Amino acid sequence: MIFKERQSIYLQIADRISDEILAGTYAPGARVPSVREYAVMIEVNLNTVMRSYDTLQSWGILDMKRGLGYFVADDAVPTILARRREAFISTQAAEFFETARSLGVTPDELAKMYKNYLNEQ
Amino acid sequence: MIEVKDLSLGYSNPGNALQIFEHSDDFDTSEIVLRDISLKFEPGKVYGLIGRNGAGKTTLLKCISSLIWKNAHKKVFIDGKPMSNGNPSILSRIFFVTDTTPLIHIRVDRYAKKLSQFYPDFSMDCFNECVEMFHLNYGEYIDNLSLGQKKMAFLSYAFASNASHIILDEPTNGLDITSMRTLRKLIASNMTDDKTMIISTHHINEISSLLDHIIILNNKKAVFDHSVIETGRALSFVESDKETDKNNALYSMSSAYGNRMILPNTSGIDSEIDYELLFEAVLDDNSKIDRLF
């Protein structure tokens, strides 16, 4: 089954900034680029980036300090990982299991595949 | 802010110049170009204007930048004041980059100086930055520039003018890939809360990431007039190979995977807009789409 739906650009940008925080580009406590700097860098509308920053703030990933700009929250990394874990279980895993079921892949097979995968890492 | 109220225009007699009609019932014998257009262009927003060839995009842009001015004062308002052809304090609030840029024999930098006398907030710093980013030559004569370079020169004047209303008719025409990216960066960096930008284009995907609002013209009317936020919230743009999805679709188009479709957005998560699909759907039957707003 193929079903592709992309989230709105402001959510994609929020995801992208989260990736950058996980990768260490912006460390906890560090200032992130201004809305305008980020908009110019990725060639996107200012209001869209503003919405991404607002969203990240409401998720507790960025902190806004009035007059200074946006900073990475101290516990941004665990917050991002918890959100992603939840999204993985509710969405990606569900799609994966649906494909496994439709192709007759058994739970034992899946468990074995996952164990092998972890051993190879 | 530019407001257009019940704007209708056309040719009162074949061969006559295009004119704005005072009353919509002046139409019977005329060739109509735009009918009953009412739109609001607010500060701090970037508007994308799309429509098929001949839909009246350029004509609408000419009306809101005073190039078609007879009766415009009754239909077009800029910051609450009626549009006028001769009033410099109103005209200096608008910079219009036309699709076919004028052929004038003057150096790129000298024309900037001339314009700076007309636009009180003209910024030479901004002009220099634009020229550097586009890799233009200050000493070149405008009429010697290539099509794309001419466009870049006039885009540079537009941003440098600091006019509160920047109107770009097909700004991506003639631009190479790198210059297109430069244009996107310049739009993002020059946008402010008190500026309005209106961009018409046939290549919506080239500038879609910069838009706050979408207007679609079809059959002489504005058939779609919604913000990007509203659109992504009301509609869901998906690609699926399941026939059951197709049955629920407001509009669908065949694709390599199955079908590209527009569904009512029930997920609570804003969807990324597929502009091509939206355009085709609105042209096909805009009432189906409009019902969800």
Claim to verify: residue B162 and residue B257 sit in the same structural domain: no
CA distances from B86 to A49, A71, B57, B199 (A): 39, 50, 24, 24
- The confidence score (pLDDT) of residue B17 equals 77
Tokens 């409401």, residue?
A58
Claim to verify: residue B66 and residue B209 sit in the same structural domain: yes
Cα distance between residue B171 and residue B188, in whole Å: 15
Cα distance between residue B134 and residue B178, in whole Å: 9
The pairing of strands B45-51 and B213-218 is parallel
CA distances from B119 to A71, B89, B114, B124, B235 (A): 38, 9, 9, 11, 41
Claim to verify: residue B159 and residue B239 sit in the same structural domain: no
**How would residue B12 be classed by pLDDT, with cut points 50, 70 and 90?**
confident
Structure confidence by residue, pLDDT tens digits, B186-227: 999 999 999 999 999 999 999 999 999 999 999 889 999 999
Indicate whether B100 belongs to any domain. Answer: yes
Q: Name which of B47, B59, B55, B78 is nearest B226 in CA terms.
A: B47
Q: DSSP label at A32? A: P
Range of the domain at B238: 228-290
Cα distance between residue A17 and residue A71, in whole Å: 12
Q: Which of B186, B219, B252 is the last residue of a domain?
A: B219
- Token pair listed for B132: 């550097």
Cα distance between residue B287 and residue B218, in whole Å: 13
Claim to verify: residue B201 and residue B63 sit in the same structural domain: yes
CB contact under 8 A, A8 and B272: yes
**Exposure string over B91-124, b if 16+ CB within 10 A, otherwise e:** bbbbbbbbeebeeeeeebbebbeebbeebeebbe
Indicate whether B51 belongs to any domain. Answer: yes
CA distances from A2 to A103, B238, B240 (A): 14, 10, 5
Decide if pLDDT at A14 tops 70.
yes
Cα distance between residue B26 and residue A51, in whole Å: 46
Mean pLDDT of the A16-34 span: 96
Tokens 């779609």, residue?
B224
- Please enumerate in sequence order all residues whose Cβ is within 8 A of that of B95, keeping only pairs 6 or more positions apart, or say none: B119, B157, B158, B161, B163, B165, B166, B167
Structure confidence by residue, pLDDT tens digits, B81-137: 888 777 888 889 999 999 988 889 999 999 999 999 999 999 999 999 999 999 999
Higher pLDDT, B173 or B22: B173
Q: What is the CATH number of the domain that holds B120?
A: 3.40.50.300
Cα distance between residue A105 and residue A119, in whole Å: 21
Query: Contacts of residue B237 in chain A, CB cutoff 8 Å?
Result: 5-6
Structural domains present in chain A: 9-75 (1.10.10.10), 77-120 (no CATH)
Cα distance between residue B183 and residue B172, in whole Å: 8
Indicate whether B18 belongs to any domain. Answer: no
Cα distance between residue B116 and residue B162, in whole Å: 10
Structure confidence by residue, pLDDT tens digits, B138-178: 999 999 999 999 999 999 999 999 999 999 999 999 999 99
Claim to verify: residue B69 and residue B189 sit in the same structural domain: yes
Q: Which of B219, B246, B267 is the last residue of a domain?
A: B219
- Token pair listed for B237: 């743009």
Could you give the percent of chain B with pLDDT greater than 70?
97
- The confidence score (pLDDT) of residue A61 equals 98
Higher pLDDT, B212 or B9: B212
- The confidence score (pLDDT) of residue B217 equals 96
Q: What is the CA radius of gyration of chain B?
A: 20
- Residue A90 corresponds to which amino acid? S
Specify the number of domains making up chain B.
2
Decide if pLDDT at B27 tops 70.
no
Residue in A3, A9, A46 nearest the CB of B188: A46
- The confidence score (pLDDT) of residue B32 equals 85
Cα distance between residue B165 and residue B78, in whole Å: 9
Cα distance between residue B127 and residue B75, in whole Å: 33
- Is residue B53 a contact partner of residue B217, using CB atoms and an 8 Å limit? no
Claim to verify: residue B182 and residue B276 sit in the same structural domain: no
Residue in A1, A5, A47 nearest the CB of B237: A5
Claim to verify: residue B53 and residue B154 sit in the same structural domain: yes
Claim to verify: residue B253 and residue B166 sit in the same structural domain: no
Cα distance between residue B161 and residue A105, in whole Å: 64
- The confidence score (pLDDT) of residue B20 equals 84
Closest CA in chain A for residue B46: A45
**How would residue A50 be classed by pLDDT, with cut points 50, 70 and 90?**
very high
Structure confidence by residue, pLDDT tens digits, B53-71: 988 999 999 999 888 877 8
Q: Which of B219, B251, B281 is the last residue of a domain?
A: B219
User: Which of A 18-57 lie inside 8 A of B, CB atoms?
Assistant: 36, 39-40, 42-48, 51
Indicate whether B23 belongs to any domain. Answer: no
What value does the mean pLDDT of chain B take? 91
- Please enumerate in sequence order all residues whose Cβ is within 8 A of that of A118, keeping only pairs 6 or more positions apart, or say none: none
Cα distance between residue B210 and residue A9, in whole Å: 10
Query: Contacts of residue A43 in chain B, CB cutoff 8 Å?
Result: 181, 184-185, 188, 209-210
- The confidence score (pLDDT) of residue B246 equals 78
**How would residue B26 be classed by pLDDT, with cut points 50, 70 and 90?**
low
What value does the mean pLDDT of chain A take? 94
Interface probe, candidates A2, A5, A6, A90, chain B, greatest B C-beta count within 10 A: A5
Question: How crowded is residue B261: how many other Cβ atoms within 10 Å of its Cβ?
Answer: 24
**Exposure string over A45-70, b if 16+ CB within 10 A, otherwise e:** bbbbbebbbbbbeeebbbbeeeeebb
